[in-house]
Structure 1
Amino acid sequence: MKCDMVQNRTSYRSDIKKGFILLIALTFLLLTVVYIFFVPHMLAMTPNALYKNLAKKIHSYYVVIEFPFFRDKQVQQTATTQHTTTTQTTTVAVTNNITSEHYHVAHPHNYQFILDESDKCLKQNPFLVLMVPVAPQQLEARKAIRSTWGTETNVQGKSVMTLFVVGLPGGAESNKTQQMLNEESRQHGDLLQSNFTDTYVNLTIKTMVIMDWLATRCPQASYGMKVDSDMFLNLENLMTLLLDPKTPKQNYITGMVMWNRPVVRSKNSKWYVPEEMYPEPTYPTYLLGMGYVFSNDLPPKIVEASKDIKPFNIEDAYVGACLKRLGIQPSSPPDPSQFKAYMGKYQREECLRVITTILGSPKQLIDIWKDVKRSV
């Protein structure tokens, strides 16, 4: 009997030991499953990782709708450091004093100038300021303008100033490009560079930075013009328009007027805008971005209106949305054909008549300019 009790007790202890080992094994297996399947997702939900994940998904189309309140201090410091050393970053920088979630990144106060000409207007007191958005690497386009219509600093007795606006260069040659820009700025004193990534989808940011510069650095100018770098510009004809007594001096903007333009919803188009960014089927009336001129009281008003308007990546239509918010209607020029999209085959008489037209290359601008300015 005693032997049976000892045997049963030994068997009982053996069963307990086996059960304990099995429990440990099952616990280890459960922890392994949790680690493999759940921990990465939990870690991915930190604010920094969440921002990076969202940014990666939307960056290819909508850099202009990233919001600064998703950024933690580490991301912000990294972006600021990268821009200070002028190296390329894959995110859009914001300044350290942005604290309100209501400021979206299209608003120009989210950016700082790396290259600036803050006292240029005080020295020159221009009547008209030509603001030329151009890619950092497009040196030939800037050279062509500096040797053609950019040389005209006094037209019909009025001072004219030309400035080029760039963002941060990208790609493998970004450091080299930045060094080139720094030297170009020292040589010519006509470059403005802000710390946003210079891409096609960020043209809205670039345009708003232009407006902010005019509002804060050059409020004494009478008129401003946003004009693309591939344009022929006849300043004599433009100045004749601006000096016409019938031309308004306030709340005035003119160029090639676009009415009832449908929003492109095809994802295959470079002009694609999703409904989340702009839900209406058509854009408000706007001026085609190739070149439009405006009274210089408008830039601060447009900047102010942009605080409340969700950004989207069609920059000229976005300015139209700001104008609509302000209750300001773009004006048709007295002769709409003077703002010409494409000239087709070159005709000297046509260039003598127009204000703007799109060209094919910097060399074409130089060749046409020489022919237009030759003595008859």
Structure 2
Amino acid sequence: MKQTPIRFAAIGLNHGHIYGQVNLLLRAGAELTAFYAKEPDLAAEFAAKYPQAKQAGSEEELLEDETLQMIVTAGIPCERASLAVRAMQHGKDVMSDKPGCTSFEQLAELRRVQAETGRIFSICFSERFENRATVQAGELVKSGAIGRVVQTIGMGPHQIRLNTRPNWFFRKAQYGGILTDIASHQVDQFLFFTGSTQAEVVSSQVANYKFPQYPELEDFGDIMLRGNGGTGYIRVDWYTPDGLGTWGDGRLTILGTEGYIELRKYADIAGRSGGDHLFLVDQKGTRYIDCQNVHLPYGERLIDDMLNRTDTAMPQAHCFLATELALQAETRASRLGNLS
């Protein structure tokens, strides 16, 4: 007997990541039935992309719809936690864009409501879940290809494209800071690849070196982490030049006791075209692995978790710990450059 598909709706379309979130669920067999956005331009764009989805008149209409099992959101970062809490209280699982929240108070409420309701709160860390080279690296590490992982070095440079950014992008109270926001990807990968279930922020710093006209924008940040499975260094920035040809030269180095893996996720500068490049160095030699055909399992695992109330796509404790560490790094960061 064929399983009835998971039905989901999108609320909050403020970041373009919503399209990746929706698409990964559609690939996994879920059914997009409705959406809501208070911004007419964002709603029109989404409706054109997904004509099968009905436009709702309010958030409440979708939260109260008992035929929906999941809400996905890429709203303004500071508004995501409140929506997720209400969705879980209405019996729905949630997939949020990163960051899932922007304050410790929001994180505490998410933890409390998730524990009370037993619903799933998942953050779509797309730089791991939706990058084929990173998925392949996970399989190699699991197989012992580089021995015990002792450190990760994650680089998350981004292209700023100022003329495309909405006002909230420049307001720290709304976007949360560069470490809360984009560095959460690298924190997630540090925990995953080192197998750390406990960790602390050793040091962190943020700066505004290039854009003094936007005093609340942080355009550079880095973090040092120490976990019970290894250590990590993270650097993120908004300096990627237009000449690269893609939005960022994201890289990850995974150091093991018997070798290392380097990922060039979106570009191999002056080398191979496209993305998803993986380089493996072990005791036998150096190998390049093209990952363009690697399967992306996050969406399927998340739906399976929803159906069976399991915890396989991303353990709930991992989701909250990655968020907590990013918030701690942001809160404790030394402030450099044009930041006071």
The TM-score normalised by the length of structure 2 is 0.30
Report the TM-score, using the length of structure 1 for normalisation.
Answer: 0.28
Higher radius of gyration, 1 or 2: 1
The answer to which structure has the higher helix fraction is: 1
Q: Which structure features the higher share of strand residues?
A: 2
